[in-house]
Amino acid sequence: MKFKVEREVLDLGLKIICITIDNVDTNVKTEKFLKFKENAYKALTKKYNNFDIETDLIFRGFNKLHKKINIKRKRNTSINELILKKFLKDNQLPSENKLIDLYNIVVLDSRLPIFIYDKNKITGDIHLCITKTQEPYITASGDQKVTAIGEYIYKDQNQIIQKLETDQNPNTTITNDTQNILIIIEGNEDTSAEYLIEVASEIIDLITTYCGGNANIIYQ
């Protein structure tokens, strides 16, 4: 699998790291893992006491990026913002399997948009590009829609797998049977390349520690 990015996407200020991890175990939750998760959530609750999303540089950076392509925030809330708001409200998140638990912890800790896919459900290479025409895609809730012209999308050989930071094609989501995964981490002009590398290292370390697998950075 190759990951290809059009120059005009990078010119917006979008930064990308793409990772594959093969042969993971999503199911067995050991006492060590459960204790790690408990301590991580306690630390995150303390970290985000009195936190203000509106003044955070990372979220403001994505708002600036979206304004360049006329994306309205109210209609296009990013996955990292949704996850953080849910956590701020409940101090916890639904637990599906180990991968999702670890994913949530890294998204919360970093505040970056991170997408995780079942690699076996993706066909061919990934292409990150700007739409030149309206293209059909499936929303995160499973509805059929078309993109606006000028939005950035991730496509495989057959379909759009991700639109902006908002809609992951549900046909690509991970399940308890997932063994091979693809992870995409996004940054913006206000997040340094070093910070993205730090976050990539964190998610690789956590997943390979608690789920096993072999990691490979295929784009940075």
pLDDT beyond 80 at 75: no
DSSP class of 55: G
Q: What are phi and psi of 142, to 5 degrees?
A: 95, 5
Work out the pLDDT band at 180, boundaries 50, 70, 90.
Answer: very high
DSSP code per residue over 184-216:
EEEE-TTS-HHHHHHHHHHHHHHHHHHH--EEE
State pLDDT tens for residues 184-203. 999 999 999 999 999 999 99
pLDDT beyond 80 at 38: yes
Minimal CA–CA distance to 171: which of 212, 136, 220? Answer: 136
Angle CA 81–84–89, to nearest 5: 125
What CA–CA distances, in Å, run from 107 to 90, 134, 146, 215?
Answer: 16, 30, 27, 18
pLDDT beyond 80 at 104: yes
Q: Which range is most confident: 53-62, 95-104, 120-129?
A: 120-129
Q: Calculate the dihedral angle through the C-alpha atoms of 7, 11, 17, 20, rounding to the nearest 10 degrees.
A: -30
Residues 6+ apart with CB under 8 A from 184: 16, 17, 18, 19, 114, 115, 117, 154, 162
- CA end-to-end span of the chain: 14
What interhelical angle do 98-110 and 79-90 show, nearest 10?
100
pLDDT beyond 90 at 206: yes
Cα 147 off chain centre by: 19
- pLDDT of 138 reads 95
**Mean pLDDT value across the chain:** 94
pTM, whole model, 2 decimals?
0.95
Q: What are phi and psi of 163, to 5 degrees?
A: -115, 120
Work out the pLDDT band at 95, boundaries 50, 70, 90.
Answer: confident
